[in-house]
Amino acid sequence: MSGRRASFIMWLATLSLVAGVLTVALAHNGSEAASATHPPRAYLPLVACDSCTNTSPSPTPTATPTRVAAQTWYTSSHHSAQYYYCDLDDGWRNLSPVYIRSYPSEAALLAVWGGQRTKHPDSKC
């Protein structure tokens, strides 16, 4: 019984400690008194205002597309084939297993099929 009693007392002590930490955290969340003792974190403005003194336009971030080097390039040897695909494209999976040809690089594929195949317009490579 004393083992259970000791476990229960430890559980109560832990619960009391957690409640105290939560109480302090909640008391400091957004209160004026808390900001006097703990300076607020720097926040970025959410919206621009018309009355701001800075009239120079801020640069607009642009996404730079990243090219991932494809490991394998695919085309079909069928006489009606028009396109080739990289391994990141889904289109190569629809090529017939009888006619599919793979190459270790785009240059290797074009060395064989150059002028007869073009990269698929929806290619990710």
pLDDT, tens digit, 9 for 90 and up, residues 103-119: 999 999 999 998 899 99
Confidence of residue 9 (pLDDT cuts 50, 70, 90): confident
For residue 92, count CB atoms less than 10 angstroms from its CB and return exposed for 0-12, middle for 13-18, buried for 19 or more.
buried
Grouping H, G, I as helix, E, B as strand and the rest as coil, residue 114 is: strand
Q: How many CB atoms lie within 10 A of CB 89?
A: 19
**Exposure of 14 by Cβ count < 10 A (0-12 exposed, 13-18 middle, 19+ buried)?**
exposed
**The model scores a pTM over 0.85:** no
